[in-house]
Structure 1
Amino acid sequence: MSRMTMFLCLLLVVCVPLAAEHHEKEAASVYGGTLAMNFEYVSGQLVQLADAMPEATYGWRPSDEVRTTSEVIMHVVGTNMMMPVMVGAAPAEGFEMPENPFALAKELEANVTSKADVKAKLQESIAYAKGALTDFPEEELDKEVDMFGMKMRKRDALLIMLSHSHEHLGQLIAYARSNGVKPPWSQPMPEAPPEQ
């Protein structure tokens, strides 16, 4: 075997695994990045709606057995802060995961009620959760976790967090419209498509 052939073989042995590792790292961010992008979109709408709703609507609820506007938003905040930790992400600075996450959620809902405080907590939770989603290691995503008494993959638990935000955005849209507040991004449909 010539020196050149030997050199090329050695180069392949070294470079192929490095290229594969680089490709793996590139792919590692795809799922978390996609979740983070979708999470950022729905969270942006939550923030816009929280801004649009007057302070007086934060204590409003459509009936006694459901959450107030502030409680719905703080429920989302609690999920944003706890779900990533429950699947293995590092907690936000200063956040300590309680033994009973439901107790913390209830505490947040009861104690953070002013529009300014609710909005601040919402934005803080969004920044944390988006970072946790983006940084979540690909090799961890298919590991099982026990979530709310069910076994599921970590990727599924993170998807639940995203769908949870969508669920409560829908709830808040109904609350807003019930109080005469139009979602800021909502525009009437045009009568006809624009002319080309």
Structure 2
Amino acid sequence: MSTKMRVSAMTVLCVALAACAQSTEPPVPAAMAAPVAAGPDLMADLMRDVEGVEKKMVDLANAMPEGSMSWMPSAGARSVKEVVLHVASDNYMIPSLLGAAIPAETKIVATDFATLTAYEKRDVKRDSAVADLKASFAHLKAAMSADSASKLGMEVDFFGTKMSRQAAWVGTVTHLHEHLGQSIAYARSNKIVPPWSK
């Protein structure tokens, strides 16, 4: 390659690098720049997922002997029963942040975490805790069914964080899986095989 061509190629490269360095923002492909719209089946997909978690949570709670409901992995951790009731309390409280009213009989107030703790620490038998869990899932699913795809892009305040309704529902379902995993670990620690694994 001649010296003249090397200089020209070097000049082009330097000009291109200088132009890139002056750009304040990287170019964004058009597909990424457009807001992501929820598919028409998002809530249906989330609902199916919730139904799967519900069945597993209820089956696990029913598989635990009454005497194991007070078991906890360490001091300060939630007991088996408290995890069941925590999921139930969240199934009431979280939809309230999206506009669903909490049933008065729960005595849960979304802005008062002491009421959530009181709900979780109630002295109830396993069958009562399972009944509460089932009722809470019915409430959660009703709240999800009442939401519409057209509202999913609307912003809500979710524990002090601004996010879309869609992100809040996805976070709600993700949170359920966290406690399903916790419940599986609790069951296995008590030598209970999850019913769907037999």
Q: Where on the TM-score scale, by shorter chain, does this alignment land: which range?
A: 0.7 to 0.9
Whether 1:133 aligns to 2:144 is yes
Shift of 1:138: 1.6
* Structure 2 equivalent of residue 120 of structure 1: 131
Instruction: Please list, as runs of the form range in 1=range in 2, the aligned pairs for 1:150-161 lying within 5 A after superposition.
Output: 150-161=161-172
Q: CA RMSD in A?
A: 2.0
Task: Mark the CA change 1:35 to 1:114 in structure 2 (over 3 Å): closer, same or farther.
Answer: same
Task: Mark the CA change 1:52 to 1:99 in structure 2 (over 3 Å): closer, same or farther.
Answer: closer
**Cα deviation per residue 1:101-125 (whole Å; 9 max; x = unaligned)?**
4222101111143201100100000
Instruction: Please list, as runs of the form range in 1=range in 2, the aligned pairs for 1:9-48 lying within 5 A after superposition.
Output: 30-48=41-59
* Structure 1 equivalent of residue 26 of structure 2: none
Whether 1:168 aligns to 2:149 is no
Runs of 5+ unmatched residues, structure 2:
1-37
Distance across 2 between alignment mates of 1:137 and 1:93: 25
Distance across 2 between alignment mates of 1:130 and 1:99: 18
Paired residues of 1:145 and 1:151 also in contact (CA < 8 A): yes
**Structure with more contact order per residue of length (Cα contacts < 8 Å, sep ≥ 6):** 1
Task: Mark the CA change 1:51 to 1:141 in structure 2 (over 3 Å): closer, same or farther.
Answer: same
Count of matched residue pairs: 161
Shift of 1:100: 2.5
| Aligned pair partner of 2:61 in 50, 57, 62 | 50
Instruction: Please list, as runs of the form range in 1=range in 2, the aligned pairs for 1:68-87 lying within 5 A after superposition.
Output: 68-87=79-98
Task: Mark the CA change 1:97 to 1:69 in structure 2 (over 3 Å): closer, same or farther.
Answer: closer
Secondary structure at the counterpart of residue 196 of structure 2: coil
Distance across 2 between alignment mates of 1:97 and 1:68: 20
Distance across 2 between alignment mates of 1:146 and 1:38: 24
* Structure 2 equivalent of residue 88 of structure 1: 99
Shift of 1:143: 1.0
Task: Please identify runs of 4+ aligned residues in structure 1 that moved more than 3 A.
Answer: 90-97
Paired residues of 1:70 and 1:112 also in contact (CA < 8 A): no
| TM-score, L = length of structure 2 | 0.75
Distance across 2 between alignment mates of 1:139 and 1:161: 19
Runs of 5+ unmatched residues, structure 1:
1-26, 188-196
Q: Amino acid of the residue matched to residue 182 of structure 1?
A: V
